[in-house]
Amino acid sequence: MYARRRKRRLGRLTHDLTAAQWAGLVEAWGGCAYCGKGSGPLQKDCMLPIANGGRYTLANVVPACRSCNASKCSTEVTTWLRRKHLDEAAFLTRQRQVLEALTLALPSDGPGVGSESASKAS
Protein backbone atom coordinates (compact mmCIF):
# COMPACT_ATOMS: atom_id res chain seq x y z
CA MET A 1 0.00 0.00 0.00
CA TYR A 2 1.98 2.88 1.31
CA ALA A 3 5.51 2.34 0.18
CA ARG A 4 7.50 3.66 3.02
CA ARG A 5 10.41 5.21 1.27
CA ARG A 6 12.74 7.70 2.72
CA LYS A 7 11.53 10.18 5.25
CA ARG A 8 9.81 12.71 3.15
CA ARG A 9 7.50 15.32 4.46
CA LEU A 10 4.17 15.39 2.78
CA GLY A 11 3.95 18.78 1.23
CA ARG A 12 0.21 18.67 1.02
CA LEU A 13 -2.32 16.45 2.68
CA THR A 14 -4.73 14.62 0.46
CA HIS A 15 -8.13 13.93 1.87
CA ASP A 16 -9.85 11.81 -0.72
CA LEU A 17 -12.52 10.01 1.27
CA THR A 18 -15.69 10.24 -0.78
CA ALA A 19 -19.22 10.42 0.55
CA ALA A 20 -19.91 7.02 -0.95
CA GLN A 21 -16.88 5.53 0.78
CA TRP A 22 -17.93 7.00 4.10
CA ALA A 23 -21.43 5.57 3.68
CA GLY A 24 -19.82 2.23 2.85
CA LEU A 25 -17.65 2.36 5.96
CA VAL A 26 -20.60 3.09 8.20
CA GLU A 27 -22.58 0.26 6.66
CA ALA A 28 -19.69 -2.24 6.78
CA TRP A 29 -18.91 -1.56 10.42
CA GLY A 30 -22.53 -1.29 11.42
CA GLY A 31 -21.67 1.06 14.27
CA CYS A 32 -18.70 2.39 16.12
CA ALA A 33 -15.56 0.63 14.89
CA TYR A 34 -14.13 0.61 18.39
CA CYS A 35 -16.89 -0.20 20.83
CA GLY A 36 -19.57 -1.45 18.44
CA LYS A 37 -22.18 1.02 19.54
CA GLY A 38 -24.69 1.26 16.73
CA SER A 39 -26.90 4.10 17.81
CA GLY A 40 -26.22 7.79 17.64
CA PRO A 41 -24.24 9.75 15.12
CA LEU A 42 -20.95 8.32 13.97
CA GLN A 43 -17.96 10.53 13.37
CA LYS A 44 -15.06 10.13 10.99
CA ASP A 45 -12.12 9.03 13.06
CA CYS A 46 -8.63 9.01 11.60
CA MET A 47 -6.76 5.96 12.88
CA LEU A 48 -3.54 7.83 12.30
CA PRO A 49 -4.40 11.28 13.60
CA ILE A 50 -4.21 14.26 11.31
CA ALA A 51 -1.68 15.75 13.71
CA ASN A 52 0.59 12.80 13.00
CA GLY A 53 0.24 13.00 9.25
CA GLY A 54 -2.97 11.01 8.88
CA ARG A 55 -5.46 11.86 6.22
CA TYR A 56 -9.15 11.45 5.56
CA THR A 57 -8.86 8.48 3.25
CA LEU A 58 -10.63 5.15 2.97
CA ALA A 59 -7.57 3.46 4.45
CA ASN A 60 -7.34 5.74 7.47
CA VAL A 61 -10.90 6.53 8.49
CA VAL A 62 -13.27 4.43 10.56
CA PRO A 63 -16.64 5.35 12.01
CA ALA A 64 -16.49 6.11 15.71
CA CYS A 65 -19.13 7.09 18.24
CA ARG A 66 -18.78 10.46 19.86
CA SER A 67 -17.40 9.13 23.11
CA CYS A 68 -14.74 6.94 21.46
CA ASN A 69 -13.77 9.74 19.13
CA ALA A 70 -13.48 12.20 21.98
CA SER A 71 -11.54 9.73 24.10
CA LYS A 72 -9.16 8.75 21.35
CA CYS A 73 -8.69 12.32 20.26
CA SER A 74 -5.31 12.57 18.58
CA THR A 75 -3.88 9.36 20.01
CA GLU A 76 -2.54 6.81 17.57
CA VAL A 77 -5.12 4.05 17.26
CA THR A 78 -3.25 1.02 18.57
CA THR A 79 -1.90 2.96 21.54
CA TRP A 80 -5.42 4.03 22.39
CA LEU A 81 -6.91 0.54 21.91
CA ARG A 82 -4.37 -0.88 24.35
CA ARG A 83 -5.05 1.83 26.86
CA LYS A 84 -8.78 1.12 26.63
CA HIS A 85 -8.19 -2.64 26.82
CA LEU A 86 -9.99 -3.13 23.54
CA ASP A 87 -9.21 -6.01 21.22
CA GLU A 88 -6.55 -4.51 19.02
CA ALA A 89 -6.01 -7.61 16.86
CA ALA A 90 -9.71 -8.05 16.19
CA PHE A 91 -10.06 -4.40 15.28
CA LEU A 92 -7.13 -4.45 12.87
CA THR A 93 -8.35 -7.66 11.21
CA ARG A 94 -11.82 -6.28 10.75
CA GLN A 95 -10.49 -2.97 9.52
CA ARG A 96 -8.42 -4.74 6.87
CA GLN A 97 -11.39 -6.77 5.71
CA VAL A 98 -13.64 -3.73 5.49
CA LEU A 99 -10.94 -1.82 3.66
CA GLU A 100 -10.38 -4.60 1.13
CA ALA A 101 -14.07 -4.94 0.42
CA LEU A 102 -14.62 -1.21 0.03
CA THR A 103 -11.50 -0.67 -2.04
CA LEU A 104 -12.95 -3.04 -4.60
CA ALA A 105 -16.47 -1.71 -4.39
CA LEU A 106 -15.72 2.00 -4.14
CA PRO A 107 -12.34 2.93 -5.59
CA SER A 108 -11.07 6.43 -4.95
CA ASP A 109 -10.00 6.96 -8.52
CA GLY A 110 -13.43 7.58 -9.96
CA PRO A 111 -14.17 11.18 -10.79
CA GLY A 112 -16.59 13.16 -8.71
CA VAL A 113 -18.17 10.40 -6.69
CA GLY A 114 -18.54 12.81 -3.82
CA SER A 115 -21.04 14.91 -5.70
CA GLU A 116 -23.56 12.12 -5.54
CA SER A 117 -25.72 12.37 -2.50
CA ALA A 118 -25.48 9.12 -0.63
CA SER A 119 -28.95 8.86 0.75
CA LYS A 120 -28.53 5.95 3.06
CA ALA A 121 -30.66 7.23 5.87
CA SER A 122 -31.59 4.58 8.34
Tell me which residues touch Zn ion (CB under 5 A). 32, 34-35, 37, 65, 68
> CA torsion angle for 80, 16, 3, 76 (degrees, to 10)?
-10
- 20 vs 33 by CB, closer to Zn ion: 33
Helical (H) or strand (E) element with 65 = strand 61-65
Q: What's the closest the beta carbon of residue 13 comes to Zn ion, in angstroms?
A: 25
Contact at 8 Å (CB) between 89 and 59? Answer: no
Q: What's the closest the beta carbon of residue 58 comes to Zn ion, in angstroms?
A: 20
Q: What's the closest the beta carbon of residue 24 comes to Zn ion, in angstroms?
A: 19
- 68 vs 98 by CB, closer to Zn ion: 68
Q: What's the closest the beta carbon of residue 18 comes to Zn ion, in angstroms?
A: 23
- 20 vs 77 by CB, closer to Zn ion: 77
- 31 vs 114 by CB, closer to Zn ion: 31
* Angle at alpha carbon of residue 99, lines to 35 and 21, rounded to 5°: 90
Q: How far is CA 18 from CA 3, 4, 56, 82, 116, in A?
A: 23, 24, 9, 30, 9
